[in-house]
Amino acid sequence: MTKSIDVSRARRETIACDEIIHFNNAGASLMPAPVSEALHNYLRSEEKIGGYETAEKYSESLEGVYSSAAKLINCSPEEIAFTENATRAWDLAFYSFRFKPGDKILTAVAEYGSNVIAYLQQASRLGVEVHFVPSDESGQIDTEALRNLIDDKVKLISITHIPTGGGLVNPAAEVGKIARAANIPFILDSCQGVGQIPIDVDAIGCDILCTTGRKFLRGPRGTGLLYVRKELIESLEPPMLDQHAAELITPYEYKMRQDAKRFENWEQFFAGKYALSVAIDYALSWGIESIQQRIYSLADLLRKKLSHIDSIEVTDEGIEKCGIVTFTSDTITPTEIKQALTVHKINVSTAKGSGSLVSFSARGLTEVVRASVHYFNTEEEIAYFIEILKTITEKGDPTIVSTMHGRRS
């Protein structure tokens, strides 16, 4: 049974809440005070006693990120690596596979652009074939089509859990069942999932998962996590190694670590690593199921209210929709909407360019407004957002500044 979120407490511990409406949590959320304090305390210690000395002082706490992350996604600490971001985590794992000409990679239409670039680079270098599994009528990956595409040439299934450009949640566990049955490695990019929805890598059946600290986990920028299933670790040699990831045995031989830390660098953002551990524990203290319930409820409300504005079209796909809400207007561009909302101290982002190119090209989209909520947001903020948006879009004038006062607390 989920517990209700104490929104008042969450907002007290998020110091910007009285100044801005932050609907850009899919870009980078607001760090809660305990996480920010941890980050600053670590940096102050580095200032006072030195970087190496601080790392030694905080050594036990720095190791805590592995056990905290393991608890978060249901794995062992030895299967976790700390990285500088989710993309680097994904790259380190993906580029460890030894593809041969004619090998196939299966991915989704709603795939993150950076991942697609990596697939295509390996196709150019090694003769790998990249196949986009069709979407079903809801927009999510068609698992029956995936099953039908599998043959002995398929060496990897790799999808994005929650795409950057919409509210879609792909059926990762169904993909995992198919991958396991065919004995094919499965990479899940859950950059937008971890911290927003419960993640159990064993139940999902993924062999590799990457995520970031800065989004729904509410950690600092410059932090990420990589999970690699222990049975797979030994067969993957990262494209880069140092003397943290491996040990030089003789002048002519080395030995890699046996755990997921073979994907790490020795030099790390230690302050961020410590703060990320605090952020994970903070999220767990609220309860991920409770966080998901609150986020989904707010997002559903936002979509409902947006659907009542004549000039707005909600562009989210999928059977299951998360806290990312995307839309367009027929009177004003997404970039102009974002700029106008900024005047009113409302943070949103836009999704455009290569990040969602494959999906957007298939759907005839070039750019959407992306409003992403978190558990510290409120129904009052949504009401204010809708009121401002109506004024902006109905007038078709991004320079309009509201004269409304006394908005939500």
pLDDT level of residue 286 (50, 70, 90 thresholds) = very high
pLDDT level of residue 121 (50, 70, 90 thresholds) = very high
The boundaries of every CATH 3.40.640.10 domain in the chain are 34-285
Q: Report pLDDT for 3.
A: 84
Residue 321 has pLDDT above 70, yes or no: yes
Residues 162 and 102 sit within 8 Å (Cβ to Cβ): no
Is the pTM for the entire model greater than 0.85?
yes
Beta-carbon contacts of residue 382 (< 8 Å; ≥ 6 apart): 298, 301, 302, 305, 373
**Nearest to residue 12, comparing CAs of 27, 29, 30, 25?**
30
pLDDT level of residue 400 (50, 70, 90 thresholds) = low
- 158-196 residue pLDDT tens: 999 999 999 999 999 999 999 999 999 999 999 999 999
CATH dotted code for 34-285: 3.40.640.10
- 229-276 residue pLDDT tens: 999 999 999 999 999 999 999 999 999 999 999 999 999 999 999 999
Q: Tokens 């990249």 sit at which residue?
A: 130
**Nearest to residue 201, comparing CAs of 81, 324, 105, 69?**
69
Q: Report pLDDT for 401.
A: 54
Mean pLDDT, range 199-224, rounded to an integer: 98
SS3 371: strand
Tell me how far CA of residue 267 lies from CA of 52, 203, 233, 260, in angstroms.
11, 33, 21, 16
Residues 368 and 163 sit within 8 Å (Cβ to Cβ): no
Q: Report pLDDT for 295.
A: 98
Q: Which helix (H) or strand (E) holds 82?
A: strand 80-83
Q: For all residues of the chain together, what is the average pLDDT? A: 95
**Nearest to residue 337, comparing CAs of 308, 313, 307?**
313
pLDDT level of residue 64 (50, 70, 90 thresholds) = very high
SS3 104: strand
Q: Report pLDDT for 407.
A: 46
For the segment(s) 7-30+287-395, the CATH number from 3.90.1150.10, 3.40.50.150, 3.50.50.60, 2.70.170.10 is: 3.90.1150.10
Q: Report pLDDT for 408.
A: 45
The boundaries of every CATH 3.90.1150.10 domain in the chain are 7-30+287-395
DSSP designation for 193 = T
Cα separation, 14 vs 6, in Å, equals: 13
